[in-house]
Chain A
Amino acid sequence: MKKDFLIYGILLAVVLILYFLAPKPVNFSTTVSYIIIGLIVLSLVFVFIRTINGHFVGRRIVFLFVGIAVVLPFFMKVSQPIRVSPEVQTVYDSVARLKPGSKVLASFDYDPASAPELQPMAESFFRLCLERNLKIIIMGLWPQGPQQAEMALQIALADSLIVKKNLQRGVDYVNLGFQTGNEFVIQRMGADFRTMFSRDTRGIPYDSIPLLRDVRNFSNIDYSFNLSAGYPGTVEWVQVAVDRYGLKMGTGNTGVQATGMYPYLRAGQLKGLLGGLSGAAEFERATGKIGTATFYMLPQSFSHVVVIAFIIIGNAAFFLGEKRKEEKEKEKKQ
């Protein structure tokens, strides 16, 4: 019991030092970052070698490596080589092709639980559209969707490049809010947005919003982007808006949902797909603006490497352990 309290005392001291004295925020320079990466890789190789000649590593070492792989990257400055996959590039190209003043419909069908993966996508998408002077129309089939959109919009508007344009609500962007009815709402929007969204979130009637004067239904929308975490979501938008009304639409999905969307992508029904955190990071790389997704990608990639490394080490230990046992049995027999 005494030993435990000694350790707690030391830990408390370390915490107080970090809390009060450490320079905030801590940032390793690129060289220091690469030295640390080198050390981690070296120690993994060292563990591999020790396992080969029979000293198996305990569970706590694995835990230690996972902890390091998640925490240290927070402080590193490493440009992570993210390769933009074709489905992510399609979303960027579809937006880049639009002439200034084109109308973009952004539909928000998720809640705070899926924000870690989808919020970075919303922020970079709004930043890209506003930089290219596109007109954004926001709506959502989930109650908290439009609120998440408003948060992402404020972050994009606060961006240095965009603040100078001092864009106006109702002229450059509008938030029509949430509407119940799932796919029935999309069907009605096929005929007339007005029947589903008589006012925007600030209560201004549809007809007195300058941005929406010549917007009646999907035929007046140049590109649409749907952020989805379940039902109602991308599947309903593809079946109604894309298949029946020919809306050109890209989508951002949570990692779990993304694999289910590839059939639609392969069949050409989707103009681009961002899947999970990696999709968000690739999109940030495509738009050239580093955001939270890229910040999270580094610890995630590090922890992937650690898990893969320990699977290899684990199997090396097993095979060599088997061989070692056979050798020992042979020696005993002689």
Chain B
Amino acid sequence: MQIFGIWVAAFLTLGIISFLYKDNPWYKVCESIFVGISAGYWFVTLFFDNILGLFWRGITAPDPNYMLLVGATLGVMMLLRLVPSIGWISRWPLAFVVGATAGFYLINYFSSNVMLQVQSTLMPLLGSRFGQPVFSASLYDTIGNIVIAGGTFTGLVYFFFSKEHKGAFGGAARIGIWTIMITFGASFGYTVMSRMSLLIGRMEFIFGDWLGLIR
């Protein structure tokens, strides 16, 4: 039985890889299987986790949480889209979701992205990484701190909307985009290598577990 499973997995793995050459029936079959199976998987998971686990158990629990009923009515309203005449009612749950998301994200992003990031930029320029006295701080830390404070500042200048990027302001914006480009280059170079190990793992499955060619 296990052998049959490995052959199925190998067939699907090679089918997906065949897409690199060109779109072909083998890939289309694998794609269709993946779409069908995964849609079914998610529906079953959502059914057991949310409908049974969250909703039903919440209602039938010793101290039932009636607020869940409010959620259910909003859900039913969403389904009423299928009825053209009163389909517009589905805008209410949608408005609820968008309003809640906007409110919830506004504060979260503000406190974690703005307050925290600004606060951690307020470092002395003459670096003292681990509390060494200032003047023995190595050049390494001092340059580092100047680059961090300067880079963040000029990065913000680049994102400024209401002033044309000309003159000194344009110069600062250019340094800003350069810093941002270094950030993009760094995280691209950083993740390139980790992607390789994903493929090494799959190839080991094909040539090792399936064909048994590796020791």
Contact = CB atoms under 8 A, between A and B. Distances in A.
B201 A116 contact: yes
A8 B25 CA distance: 10
A239 interface: no
The 10 closest A-B pairs by CB, nearest first: A25-B215, A303-B196, A26-B213, A63-B20, A299-B200, A267-B130, A24-B212, A74-B214, A70-B203, A4-B24
A116 B199 CA distance: 13
Nearest to A255: B194
Interface of A: 1, 4, 8, 11, 15, 18-19, 22, 24-27, 60, 63, 66-67, 70-71, 74-75, 116, 255-256, 263, 267, 277, 296, 299-300, 303-304, 307
A304 B193 contact: yes
A228 to B, nearest CB: 17
B64 interface: no
A267 to B, nearest CB: 5
A70 B200 contact: yes
B186 to A, nearest CB: 10
A281 B212 CA distance: 24
Interface residues on B, range: 20 to 34
Contacts of B215: 25, 27
Contacts of A24: 212-213
B197 interface: yes
Nearest to B132: A267
B199 A74 contact: no
B164 to A, nearest CB: 30
A70 B196 contact: yes
B199 A70 contact: yes
A67 B21 CA distance: 12
Nearest to A278: B193
B192 interface: yes
A304 B203 CA distance: 16
Contacts of B24: 4
11 contacts: A18-B213, A22-B211, A63-B20, A66-B199, A74-B204, A74-B207, A255-B193, A296-B200, A299-B196, A300-B200, A304-B193
Interface SS of chain B: helix
A27 B20 CA distance: 28
Contacts of B200: 70, 296, 299-300, 303
B52 to A, nearest CB: 25
Given A4-B25, A263-B129, A304 B196 contact: yes
B213 A25 contact: yes
A300 B193 contact: yes
Given A22-B213, A24-B212, A60-B21, A116 B207 contact: no
Given A74-B213, A300-B197, A303-B200, 16 more contacts: A4-B26, A11-B14, A19-B211, A25-B212, A25-B213, A25-B215, A27-B215, A60-B20, A63-B20, A67-B203, A70-B196, A74-B203, A267-B129, A267-B130, A296-B197, A300-B196
Contacts of A26: 213-214
B197 to A, nearest CB: 6
A125 B170 CA distance: 55
Interface of B: 14, 20-21, 24-26, 129-130, 192-194, 196-197, 199-201, 203-204, 207-208, 210-215
A24 B196 CA distance: 26
A307 B200 CA distance: 15
Most B CB contacts (10 A, CB to CB) among A70, A267, A304 go to A70
B130 A25 contact: no
B19 to A, nearest CB: 10
Contacts of A116: 197, 201
Contact of A75 (B201, B212, B214): B214
Contacts of B207: 71, 74
A37 to B, nearest CB: 17
A323 B213 CA distance: 48
Contacts of A256: 194
A195 B210 CA distance: 48
Contacts of B193: 255, 300, 304
Given A18-B213, A60-B20, A71-B203, A307 B192 contact: yes
B199 A25 contact: no
A299 B203 CA distance: 10
Contacts of A304: 193, 196
Contacts of B199: 66, 70, 303
Contacts of A27: 215
Contacts of A60: 20-21
Contacts of B21: 60, 63
